[in-house]
Amino acid sequence: MPPDHHSSAMGGKEPALWPTLRRFLPYLWPAGQREHKLRIVGAGLIVLLSKAVQLSMGFVYGAAIDRMVPGMEAGVALTIGLVVAYASARFFGVLFDNLRNVVFERVGQDATRELAVQTFTHLHSLSLRFHLARRTGEVTKVIERGTKSIDTMLYFLLFNIAPTIIELAAVLIIFWMKFSFGLASMTALMVIIYIIFTRKITDWRNALRMQMNDLDTLTVGRSVDSLLNYETVKYFSAEEREAARYRDVADRYARAAIKSENSLAWLNIGQSLITNGAMAAAMGYTVWGWSKGQFQTGDVVLVNTLLAQLFRPLDMLGMVYRMIRQGVIDMEAMFRLIDSKPEIQDMTGAAALRVAGGSVTFENVRFGYDKDRTILDGVSFAVEAGQTLAIVGPSGAGKSTIARLLFRFYDPTGGRILIDGQDIRAVTQSSLRGAIGIVPQDTVLFNDSIGYNIAYGREGAEATEVVEAAKGAAIDGFIEGLPAGYETQVGERGLKLSGGEKQRVAIARTLLKNPPVLILDEATSALDSRTEAAIQDTLERISQRRTTLVIAHRLSTVTHADRIIVLEKGRVAETGTHEQLLAMQGLYADMWARQQAEKEEGTD
């Protein structure tokens, strides 16, 4: 079994915290978004108001306790009022926290949406080479985690970390002014020890989380890859093999998850030891001061209440720190996707392609997918506007590469490609691809309706135009015979349709696009003879009055071409019409004789 080449999204290293956070900050204060900034300011004011109310709870509660001593019975109404005020402060604390969430929610959702759209758009701008090298399941998982993390980061930074710092500063000032510098210093020392301990343990847990993420991504990627190749698995009776491969990564993920969850127990135990030790020391100090007459009875409650309120967000510090670190990891992985530079980019000041007739010229074009492997080695040919050029040759000769270069999925390493005399590298990619239509060998359809897939050929196409395109591809009768008609769902990649039906949908889609340049890339090679003959008639009809490049393996499908070029080892070995090439008694003639013999054997 071949090795599973998997690379972590982070390359096995945890990303630096501050560089990623600095890149994240623009989403915290979005430029040009006045409403968002007002919402953030409003949410911040609500946070301050909430903290003020919560800090007052300890004083109100302590004042009520101070009045519940012998000799203070006359002030029972005031005591009850203090108790009511304490309960009200608790309610308003909850109210303000929820109002804060209501005010801020749009900011978080809009930031998540913009980042998701930006990443999705960027992925479509990347080169074909990038998408062929990446696993779709892994990429989608990275996007999902990255976009979700920004909302989490915004929430924790604004409503957990910042309020905790404000509350800690207020508690230290209160302890210093009301009690002593020693109590304030002890509280500060506890917080420092707590933070250091939490960070150390959480960093250890983050390493486990990174391992879990890598294994989770590998698990998803492997499952998606296996399910996309469902038919191949069935062909080779490899269900058990696929299950074993999936079980292997699932077991590794489970072991990593167990380690991660067990480490959480140690984190909680250590945090509880520190906070409860600090609580005991602070309250013991207050009781000692009360015994000396320095403090009142309610001061014990005040210290307890303030520390309890401070410990509540501190108890979440490990989770918050882990979520922030995890958010940084997820965002860094997504930022790496965003930072991936498109291999093919428009030149500065590139103009739109101007198509007069649609002539196509290759001038000494050289290209290789890898530096040490040349696919096209000085290919030159020209197709006049409205003519049909057939490109034939043995497998691996570079036939389909010509189509990819013409669409500018790649740029040639040498030579140039012209359409109506314009170098395609000097025009915009959108205008170039808008002028070219293709009927590929393997037609992949969207998991939507037949009508949607045909209408995809031109944005904004009317329903009548879709029907006309279906008629042109001779598939209208089939569609109208379906119970749901044009709303019939084709399934994932169009698997609910036969090969011939998918090809006709692809033809209809191209007809709707109505391009001046048409590429037929092995458009009938996967079909049976009867279906091939029917579709071949349709293809010949739609290629009329268009500049057409026919890439074919079966020579019988290109005998009508105005000119045929024969590729061999990346070079144009022969060129001419069908009759001229047969008369040469060269490579084309050998291929023709071989295929005719195979056809006769098949007939026998």
Residues 539-568 pLDDT 10s: 777 777 788 898 888 888 888 888 999 998
Report d(CA 425, CA 221) in Å as an integer. Answer: 35
Token pair, residue 10, equals 């982070």
Mean pLDDT value of segment 76-103: 71
Please tell me if the domain spanning 17-339 has the same topology as the one spanning 360-603.
no
pLDDT, one tens digit per residue, over 245-273 is 888 888 888 888 888 778 778 888 888 88
Q: How confident is the model at residue 365 (pLDDT cuts 50, 70, 90)?
A: very high
pLDDT, one tens digit per residue, over 165-192 is 888 888 888 889 888 888 889 888 988 9
Token pair, residue 545, equals 């009055």
Taking each helix axis as running N to C, give the angle between helix 17-28 and helix 136-156, from 0 to 180 degrees, rounded to the nearest 10.
70
Least confidently predicted of 81-85, 432-436, 503-507, 516-520: 81-85
Q: What is the pLDDT of residue 65?
A: 63
Q: Do the Cβ atoms of 343 and 130 come closer than 8 Å? A: yes
Whose CA is closest to 93, among 49, 58, 41? 49
Report d(CA 113, CA 151) in Å as an integer. Answer: 10
Token pair, residue 164, equals 């905790």
Q: Do the Cβ atoms of 382 and 358 come closer than 8 Å? A: no
Between residues 500 and 362, the one the model is more confident about: 362
Report d(CA 433, CA 346) in Å as an integer. Answer: 13
| Strand, helix or coil for residue 595 | helix
Q: What is the pLDDT of residue 14?
A: 52
Which DSSP string do the residues of 364-428 spell out, in sequence order?
A: EEEE-SBTTB-SEEEEEEEE-TT-EEEEE-STTSSHHHHHHHHTTSS--SEEEEEETTEEGGGB-
* Angle 100-101-103 from CA coordinates, rounded to 5°: 65
- Amino acid identity of residue 182, one-letter, is G
Report d(CA 58, CA 307) in Å as an integer. Answer: 10
Task: Enumerate residues 6+ apart whose C-beta is below 8 A from 485.
Answer: 451, 479
> CATH topology for 17-339?
ABC transporter transmembrane region fold (1.20.1560)
Q: Do the Cβ atoms of 389 and 361 come closer than 8 Å? A: no
**What is the widest separation between alpha-carbon atoms in the chain?**
125
pLDDT, one tens digit per residue, over 125-151 is 776 666 666 666 667 777 777 777 777
Q: How confident is the model at residue 9 (pLDDT cuts 50, 70, 90)?
A: very low
Cβ atoms < 10 Å from Cβ of 85: 17
Phi and psi torsions of 383, nearest 5°: -120, 120
> CATH topology for 360-603?
Rossmann fold (3.40.50)
Residue 390: alpha-carbon gap to chain centroid = 39
Report d(CA 402, CA 388) in Å as an integer. Answer: 15
Whose CA is closest to 562, among 549, 552, 551, 553? 549
Report d(CA 333, CA 10) in Å as an integer. Answer: 6
The model's pTM is: 0.62
* Residue written as token pair 């006045």: 34
Mean pLDDT value of segment 284-295: 82
Helices and strands: H and E segment counts in the chain: 20, 10
Domain borders along the chain are 17-339, 360-603
Cα-based distances in Å from 136 to 2, 34, 78, 324, 443? 20, 37, 67, 26, 18
Highest mean pLDDT: which range of 4-18, 139-153, 424-438: 424-438
Q: What is the pLDDT of residue 318?
A: 66
pLDDT exceeds 90 at position 91: no
Q: Do the Cβ atoms of 466 and 505 come closer than 8 Å? A: no
pLDDT, one tens digit per residue, over 574-600 is 999 999 999 999 898 998 888 888 776
Q: How confident is the model at residue 277 (pLDDT cuts 50, 70, 90)?
A: confident
